[in-house]
Structure 1
Amino acid sequence: MFGRERRRQTENRDAAALRAGLTPQQLSALETLEQFQWTLRFVRRPMFMEPIPVVVDRTGKRHAVLRADGTLDESPDFKVRD
Structure 2
Amino acid sequence: MDKDKRKGDEPIPSNLNTLLNDAQRAGLRQLESFGWQLQFVRHPLFQEPVVVVVNPEGREFGVLEDDGRINMEAHIAFREKN
Tell me if both proteins adopt one fold, taking TM over 0.5 as the criterion. yes
Q: Compared with structure 1, are the counterparts of its residues 47 and 15 closer, same or farther at alpha carbon in structure 2 (3 Å cutoff)?
A: closer
Bigger Rg, structure 1 or 2: 1
Q: Which residue of 1 aligns with 2:19?
A: 21
- 1:32 — aligned with what? 30
Q: CA 1:26 to 1:79, structure 2 compared with 1: closer, same or farther past 3 Å?
A: same
- In the alignment, structure 2 segments of 5+ residues that lack a partner are 1-11
Which stretches in structure 1 are left out of the alignment for 5+ residues?
1-13
Instruction: Report the Cα distance in structure 1 between the residues aligned to 2:59 and 2:79, rounded to whole angstroms.
Output: 11
Could you say what the CA RMSD is over the residues aligned between the two structures, in angstroms? Answer: 1.8
Residue pair 1:29, 1:71 contacting (<8 A) in 2 also: yes
- Residue 35 and residue 15 in structure 1: after superposition, are their counterparts in 2 closer, same or farther (change >3 A)? farther
Divergent runs of 4+, >2 A = 14-20, 77-82
Partner of 1:64: 62
User: Residue type matched to 1:69 in 2?
Assistant: D
Residue from 40, 43, 46 that aligns with 2:44: 46
Deviation, structure 1 residue 78: 2.7
- In the superposition, the TM-score normalised over structure 1's length comes to 0.73
> As a proportion of its length, which structure holds more helix?
1
TM-score between the two structures when normalised by the length of structure 2 = 0.73
